[in-house]
Amino acid sequence: MTMSASQMVNGSSRDSLSNWIEEKPDYCNLNVLQKNRLPPRSYFLPTTSLLLNGVWEFNYARSPLEAPDPKEYALVDGRMQPDTEISSPSELSGSFSMVSNINVSNHQPISPWITINVPGHWQLQGHGRPHYTNVVFPFPVCPPEVPTQNPTGTYRRSFYVPSTWDTLTQLRLRFDGVDSSFHVWLNGIFRDVHLLAFPRAGRIEDLFVQTELDEKYENAILSVSLDLHHPSGGEVSLVLRDPAKNNHVVTSIRKTCNANESSLGIEFPVSNPKKWTAETPLLDMCDELGLWVMSEADSECHGFYDAVARPLSIPEEMDYGQRKLLAFPQAAKFTSNNEEWREAYLDRMRQVIQRDKNHASVIIWSLGNEAFYGSNLKAMYDYAKSVDPGRLVHYEGDAKGLSADMFSYMYASAQRLIKLAETEGVNADGHYEKPVILCEYAHAMGNGPGGLEDYQRAFREYDRLQGGFVWEWANHGLWKKDGAKEFYAFGGDFGDVPNDGTFIMDGLCFSDHTPTPGLVELKKVIEPVRLLVESGRFFIENDYDFIGLEHIIATYKVESLGSSTIVLDSGELPIPLVRAGQRIKLAIPDHIFSYPSPDEIFLTVSFRLQSATYWADAYHEIAWWQHRISSSQKMSVSQPISQSWNKLQVDNSKAAFKITSANQLLQFDRVTGYITFWRSSGLALLESNSKASSAIKPSFWRAPTDNDVPVTPLLAMLWARCHDKPIRVICTWGYNVESTYTISSNGALAIKIYLLPTGSHPKTVPRVGLDVNLPRYLDKVSWLGPGPGESYPDKRSSQKIGIWSKSVEELQTKYEHPQENRSRVDTRWVTMLDQNEAGIKVTGEIIKDKDKDPERTFQWSAGRHTADMLEAAKHPCDLIEEDATLLKLSADGTGLGSAACGPGVAEEFVVKYREMQFSFVLEPVKV
């Protein structure tokens, strides 16, 4: 048996195919959604099925006009023979011109037949280019017309129907996924293809399993609706088995159906079934039926705006009414409110509901994403409720909750989300009927997201706020080799135009599905157990929704953190009985708080699994809490360790002046006033080089993150206006910087900086601090502060305060698009040492506000790449290391936010451009 399939994806030519063909093709005909396609049904495979995956013959054409016509091929020995022999792949990506250059008088394919893997994307097998855009279409849009320049693939496969199959079976061809229009003769194919054999005499065409628990949520009724094909009548048998008991038969029912009876309903009473929750998962298998019930819902919707948030070409001569038709989504001009498109909308809703209706894990249907709102979406909602009334329906575009069962929003800030929960859909008496969710929030692009704790706090405090969905799980980079370079590619790496660059790299996991620091932060923020301190008393809170804490053990540790870690006490804390959602007082022994120490003392409590589960080992940590018992009694400047600065000498030359002693050399540049070199006991601690003219200087810049450079049409428009024109830049603001260097007798160097803003300055700057150039061999890093991972002012909850050690290489996070990384906040001290444990130690004192006490913690990072290099590199393989260790000491640094597609950095985490004073003390270690 020979089967051929032709599939097309959207192209780029402005001409429509219907202009070149006498009879409008199906894919340009709004009234043709299918031909000879069987009605949608639930997904199940009969025992007689043949998987047709594998190597298929394939033809790639730049247009349907040039795709092979099956009528022009003859069958020889049961196979369709092409005019050309199968050969190697040919790259036929086509041009992206807006004018068609296709010769319609010749419909012969310009590509030979080759082979391709099914399932698989042809763009990843040498044909065309991978292409992603978020908002801007990569091809002209004029529905239902289709561009002529429209890549088309034709697939061909010969196979034998198994001889063991009954000759009276009905054969069906099933494609699990194709895109975006296809025809089958006997239909890139990126999912499985099956040949299914059903008995002709009688069969189950479809089944719908629904469940309902009683008022006590104990026992259940399992309802099974069957669509039958039984021309002669027959018998139907249903058996309910318990997989936990070797498929023991719980109950069975046999019913007789009459001739031509097309439907049958059967009910099973189920006594006290096990209840699945995310906290007690009982089954993690695909395609298994289960009992489900909606006990409560999580949901939320996007705000309403007066105009469509996309560029529209509106002629100035149009009156208000005409403009409104173009600018408002409710206008009939848009497909969401156009009755001619209604059946197309409903067809999509039917397909997804009928396919997935028996999946117990599906609890909410969604009408789509970012497709405006109109009568066609309302029709989809009505259809969903008519066939499956037990499930909720979500749609973010229904901003006023006219039909959706919840209010849903995208990327609202935590503050705006609270306001929406308090006002949207709330009656005058304060009553509301629909919950609120964030269907997308905390856009996890690059280094971020920041501010997760603010959202979680709102979710906890407002019952109506039922949570949200972080966008998104993983980056979508494609592994690519380009000569000697290997990297995860994104927009623009394939010659794809237009493209959205890194906007596809927005996940909590990297492209290889290893976790980013953002996922580690999310795990901490949503942890199910918390300890709280109120009025000097300790409380334990169970944030699970269904279960207690009986499966958890709690251990504690009391540590003194100074120049080293001293464990003062440790043990196990008994956990009281705490039901889901409860908060109960926790008894912590008094002696834990009575240990004397000149250093900071911290109590850390760890909550771990008592026993192994299928997803984690025993003693896996699921939550932790840290509490500072006492502060350090020491000053930030360390005690003297030597008298190496005694008997100072000053060598004053024209270009520089040097300060020396028996073991020290400190050199300043007379022009800039910056330090260029510092050596102690023969070991260089600071040094300038050809790329850094000073060893240490004030800095107010960091490499941008993806959230610092949001991708917006406005920025693109501004750049397009001026990128090819001369621009005159006038600097009208800055800082007056007063630097004071103090050389102590103990060998320490104190650098005090006073900043006074001048001119018409901006409100904020990225950071305030010092850039320090160290020799490369100072590679071993230790610090007292949050760790071991990177942290920022609004992304630090996941890091425990302790003493941590890493190499400079281990400090960096290798984001797939290079950007600012490696930061550690709230640090008490940091050392940079060589392999002999000699080097430099840094402490700090920050005065952000003259009316407040100094802070003795600071932010820092260390690496091999300059900010300019991180900003310029497109991929990690483009990064060039400096022959130095680059230490950044920050008195203040900006948070991360999620402005790539969401709110920016919260006010409390931005660096205000203001008068400020800070100092850092650098002292030699073991030299």
Q: Which of 418, 364, 424 is nearest to 395 (CA)?
A: 364
What's the Rg (C-alpha) of the chain?
34
Q: Token pair of 797, please?
A: 């909850």
Q: Higher pLDDT residue, 754 or 646?
A: 754
Report DSSP state, residue 164. Answer: T
Give CA–CA dist 134/112, Å, rounded.
33
Q: Look at residue 88 in the predicted model and tell me its pLDDT.
A: 31
Residues 513 and 503: beta-carbon distance below 8 Å: no
pLDDT of residue 720: 60
Indicate whether 749 pLDDT > 60: yes
Q: Which fold has domain 703-925?
A: Beta-galactosidase; Chain A, domain 5 (2.70.98)
Give the whole-angstrom CA distance, residue 881 versus residue 808.
12
Mean pLDDT computed over 291-317: 33
d(CA 831, CA 807): 11
Alpha helices in 56-149, H assignment, sequence order: none
- Do 169 and 198 touch, CB atoms closer than 8 A? yes
- CA-CA distance, 834 to 81, in Å (whole number)? 71
- State pLDDT tens for residues 189-216: 667 888 888 888 888 889 999 888 899 8
Q: What percent of the chain has pLDDT over 70?
A: 83
Tell me the pLDDT band of 927, cut-offs 50, 70 and 90.
Answer: low
- pLDDT exceeds 90 at position 304: no
Nearest to 301 by CA among 367, 364, 403, 394: 394
Reported as type and span, the H/E element at residue 5 is: strand 2-8
Tokens coding 205: 């065409």
pLDDT at 15 over 90: no
d(CA 320, CA 328) in angstroms, rounded, equals 12
Q: Which of 233-237, 333-337, 613-617 has the lowest mean pLDDT?
A: 333-337
Q: Quote the tokens at residue 670.
A: 């007379």
Residue, of 455 and 295, whose pLDDT is higher? 455
Cα distances (Å, whole numbers) of residue 110 to 62, 92, 148, 182, 760: 9, 9, 15, 20, 63
Q: Which residue has the higher pLDDT, 234 or 410?
A: 410
pLDDT at 441 (0 to 100): 96
pLDDT, residue 165, reads 83
CA pair distance 822, 606, nearest whole angstrom: 26
The region of weakest confidence among 131-140, 367-376, 630-639, 783-792 is: 630-639
Given a cut of 90, whether residue 52 has pLDDT beyond it is no
> Which residues, in sequence order, are CB contacts of 569 under 8 Å at separation 6+?
556, 557, 558, 591, 592, 595
Q: Which of 239, 196, 218 is nearest to 46 (CA)?
A: 196
Is the model more confident about 851 or about 25? Answer: 25
- What CA–CA distance (Å, rounded) separates 861 from 824? 6
Q: Are 889 and 770 in contact (CB under 8 A)?
A: yes
Q: Which pLDDT band, with edges at 50, 70 and 90, does 375 fall under?
A: very high
How does pLDDT run across 531-541, given as a tens digit for each residue? 999 988 999 99
Amino acid of residue 73: Y
Task: Over range 467-491, report the average pLDDT.
Answer: 95
Sorted by sequence, the CB contacts under 8 Å of residue 467 that are 6+ apart come out as: 298, 437, 438, 459
Is-contact 776 883, C-beta < 8 A?
yes
Q: Which residues are CB-neighbours of 200 under 8 A, at least 6 positions away? A: 168, 169, 170
Q: Per-residue DSSP letters for 624-664? A: EEEEEEE---S-SSPPP---TTSS-EEEE-SSEEEEE-SSE
Contact (CB, 8 A) for 815 and 447: yes
Compute, in degrees rounded to 10, the torsion defined by CA atoms 873, 878, 882, 883: 180
Task: Report residue 293's pLDDT band, with 50, 70 and 90 as the boundaries.
Answer: very low
Instruction: Give the mean pLDDT of the chain.
Output: 84
Q: Which amino acid is at 177?
A: G
Closest CA to 749 of 860, 672, 648, 637: 637
Residue 843, pLDDT > 50, answer: yes
Tokens of 604: 């850390």
Q: Which residue has the tokens 């496969």?
A: 157
Pairing status of strand 916-925 against strand 2-8: unpaired
The alpha carbon torsion through 685, 690, 691, 693 (nearest 10 deg) reads 60
Q: What residues have CB less than 8 Å from 630, skipping those under 6 apart?
A: 597, 600, 601
Tally of CA atoms within 13 A in the half-sphere of 114 that contains its CB: 20
Instruction: Give the lowest-confidence range in 103-117, 145-159, 394-408, 496-510.
Output: 103-117
pLDDT average, residue stretch 170-188: 75
| pLDDT of amino acid 283 | 58
> What is the spatial distance between Cα 629 and Cα 591, in angstroms, rounded to a whole number?
12
Residue 72: its pLDDT value, please?
Answer: 65
Return the minimum-mean-pLDDT range out of 107-116, 635-644, 686-695. Answer: 635-644
Domain boundaries, the chain: 1-200, 203-270, 528-630, 703-925
User: What is the distance between the alpha carbons of residues 270 and 281, in angstroms, rounded to a whole number?
Assistant: 19
- Report residue 3's pLDDT band, with 50, 70 and 90 as the boundaries: low
Greater confidence (421 vs 850) lies with 421
One-letter amino acid of 549? L
Mean pLDDT of 296-321: 32
| CA dihedral sign, ordered 59, 63, 66, 67 | positive
Tell which CATH architecture fits domain 528-630.
Sandwich (2.60)
The tens digit of pLDDT for each residue in 132-150 reads 888 888 888 888 888 888 8
Q: For the residues 360-367, what does the mean pLDDT come to?
A: 92
Q: List, for residues 434-475, the tens digit of each pLDDT value.
A: 999 999 999 999 999 999 999 999 999 999 999 999 999 999
Say what the pLDDT of residue 302 is: 29
Q: What is the pLDDT of residue 910?
A: 94
pLDDT confidence of residue 208: 92
Average pLDDT over residues 578-590: 95
What pLDDT does residue 645 have? 59
263-270 and 203-213: which strand pairing?
unpaired
Q: Are 637 and 604 in contact (CB under 8 A)?
A: no
In the predicted model, what is the mean pLDDT of residues 572-583? Answer: 96
Fold of 1-200: Jelly Rolls (2.60.120)
Closest C-alpha to 149, from 300, 19, 51 = 19
What's the gap between Cα 162 and its chain centre?
45
The answer to whether the peptide bond before residue 788 is cis (omega within 30 degrees of 0) is yes
Other C-beta atoms closer than 10 Å to the C-beta of 6 total 22
pLDDT above 90 for 555: yes
Helix, strand, or coil (residue 845): strand
CA 603 to CA 588: how far, in whole Å?
Answer: 11
At position 393, the amino acid (one-letter code) is V
d(CA 60, CA 114): 9
Q: What is the pLDDT of residues 82-93, one digit of tens each?
A: 433 333 333 323
DSSP 8-state symbol, 723? T
**CB within 8 Å of 811: residues ≥ 6 apart:** 781, 790, 822, 861, 862, 863
Alpha carbon distance 170, 187 (integer Å):
18
Confidence of residue 111 (pLDDT cuts 50, 70, 90): low
Backbone angles phi, psi at 908, to 5 degrees: -70, -10
Count of beta carbons in the 10 Å neighbourhood of residue 216: 6
Q: Per-residue pLDDT for 819 more than 90?
A: yes
User: Does the structure show a pLDDT above 50 at 637?
Assistant: no
pLDDT of 377: 96
